Structure 1
């Protein structure tokens, strides 16, 4: 499989793609932008965020929840307003929120990271009425998280450790003991991930020129090559959730690399050969 560019945005750090039923939403973290793309009409819009924004996800209130450097915000696309409502790490001013997902119960799982990418201050949190530390060991950059369809397994990524952990989820949302599930050998670092309708895990590779699909046992099944090095996260969208969309980044590329990768930072799409899972709005 190969991926093709579908929207030229030139994001410095594209991230967080999510399909809401009629359009794809994603962000440019370093550009402080929220994007919306309708692949049927070609309509593309963007909103400015008040700080670095790691993701936006739909909420049961009809607006969106945004992970901004300064904490969780409500984002209203109708007005463009961002309203802060919870900062999980008020004393860690060097951290920012990085990636997130909801499970089928509407619980919001999100992680933080050291913005300088040096200190192990990144943690994973759960918000389902109140915000709780997941209890997993802190790392420099948290990524994923991805949740199985039955919401009983969570995949948590330690990007710089090049490791994806498989973690059981209890009925009350607490986590069991993590198990090392996938270790990325060779080129690239595991970035965002998402599960499909067959229970497999798709992992984007920053610096790895593509995405990989792993079966539930952690065995590599498919590699999709991209013409750009930094692939950050994938989402399923379109009719039947059978189109894969992926964000990419220009971050870390020098002038020669950018000249060789003219589509770095753009939005890509490909046929994954499998359907994805619908996104449950966050019950925050």
Structure 2
């Protein structure tokens, strides 16, 4: 498997690719440039939405809009472009980071301190109506979040720990946290993740120039080398959800190559699971 360039973007901190099945497009963000990007592989059409704050994630809504994890909380853009807050809780020095829509249509949104202060972030659940529940506190860099195909397990990354953890899902909460795998020193840091139809976890390795696939028992069974040093997250999309899209970043790199910050694609990498829209 080889990665190709899907969109030759020079994102400062590209993140959170998500396939929007209703529109046949990929959605991803450039956090530090406050931009939400979309890309239609079939036509090549692209759009860019400028947000008023740093945007950690953007996911499709069931009503055709977007839900966004911003610096000061979680908001939504309606299909007509109008914006409203679902949950606003500004904390000095903190911003939203990666997020994911759970099987029940709620958004699980992470946060982190700009200076990566240990314990400066959290993970919350935001229901479509705006009700908020804190899932995890004392988080440093809240990143990859995903669910097993049957919805009984939730996978999660707090990047500085180097771990992918797994929880049992009980209603709207999780319990029995344990380690699935720890990424070894020198291989990069686990960042965003996705789960495929076989229940395997694909994770982007920041500073590792690769995406790895781990089985549900934590065995490494596939590595895809990438032409960028800081891949940030991955998601399946395209026809049959068979192509793996990978976002990347150029922030903090000395003499970044022309591809750093691009959106990559690995054609025919596997088979993804349809992702729910917020509020579905």
Fold agreement, TM-score > 0.5: yes
TM-score range, shorter chain: over 0.9
Q: Does 1:279 align with 2:272?
A: no
Question: Are the equivalent residues in 1 in contact too, given 2:123–2:139 (CA < 8 A)?
Answer: no
Query: CA-to-partner distance for each residue in 1:227-267, whole Å, 9 max, x for gaps?
Result: 11000011111110111111000011012xx1xx2100001
Identify the residue that residue 62 of structure 2 maps to in structure 1: 60
Q: TM-score, normalised by structure 1?
A: 0.93
Query: CA-to-partner distance for each residue in 1:170-202, whole Å, 9 max, x for gaps?
Result: 0x2121120011101022111000000110000
Aligned counterparts, 1:7-26, within 5 A: 7-21=7-21, 22-26=24-28
5+ long unaligned stretches in structure 2: none
Root mean square deviation of aligned Cα: 1.4
Query: CA-to-partner distance for each residue in 1:80-110, whole Å, 9 max, x for gaps?
Result: x4322212x43x2211111111122212211
Evaluate the alpha carbon distance shift between residue 137 and residue 219 of structure 1 in structure 2; reply closer, same or farther with a 3 A threshold.
farther
CA displacement at 1:226 relative to structure 2:
0.6
Identify the residue that residue 248 of structure 2 maps to in structure 1: 248
Aligned counterparts, 1:175-254, within 5 A: 175-185=174-184, 186-254=186-254
Provide the secondary structure at the position in 1 that maps to 2:173.
coil
Aligned counterparts, 1:114-133, within 5 A: 114-128=113-127, 129=129, 130-133=131-134
CA displacement at 1:78 relative to structure 2:
3.9
Question: Are the equivalent residues in 1 in contact too, given 2:14–2:29 (CA < 8 A)?
Answer: yes
- CA–CA distance in 1 between the matches of 2:191 and 2:268? 18
CA displacement at 1:271 relative to structure 2:
2.5
- CA–CA distance in 2 between the matches of 1:34 and 1:77? 14
- CA–CA distance in 2 between the matches of 1:163 and 1:38? 33
Provide the secondary structure at the position in 2 that maps to 1:178.
strand
- CA–CA distance in 1 between the matches of 2:43 and 2:137? 44
- CA–CA distance in 1 between the matches of 2:28 and 2:9? 11
CA displacement at 1:118 relative to structure 2:
2.5
Question: Are the equivalent residues in 1 in contact too, given 2:118–2:138 (CA < 8 A)?
Answer: no
Deviant stretches of 4+, over 4 Å: none
- CA–CA distance in 2 between the matches of 1:98 and 1:72? 11
Question: Are the equivalent residues in 2 in contact too, given 1:104–1:149 (CA < 8 A)?
Answer: no
Provide the secondary structure at the position in 2 that maps to 1:138.
strand
Q: Does 1:138 align with 2:138?
A: yes
Q: TM-score, normalised by structure 2?
A: 0.94
Question: Are the equivalent residues in 1 in contact too, given 2:110–2:121 (CA < 8 A)?
Answer: yes
Identify the residue that residue 269 of structure 1 maps to in structure 2: 265
Query: CA-to-partner distance for each residue in 1:92-143, whole Å, 9 max, x for gaps?
Result: 2211111111122212211111111133111111122411001x35221011
Q: Does 1:28 align with 2:30?
A: yes
Provide the secondary structure at the position in 2 that maps to 1:34.
strand
Write 1 or 2 for the structure with the bigger share of strand. Answer: 2
CA displacement at 1:77 relative to structure 2:
5.3
Provide the secondary structure at the position in 2 that maps to 1:39.
coil
Aligned counterparts, 1:81-96, within 5 A: 81-87=82-88, 89-90=89-90, 92-96=91-95
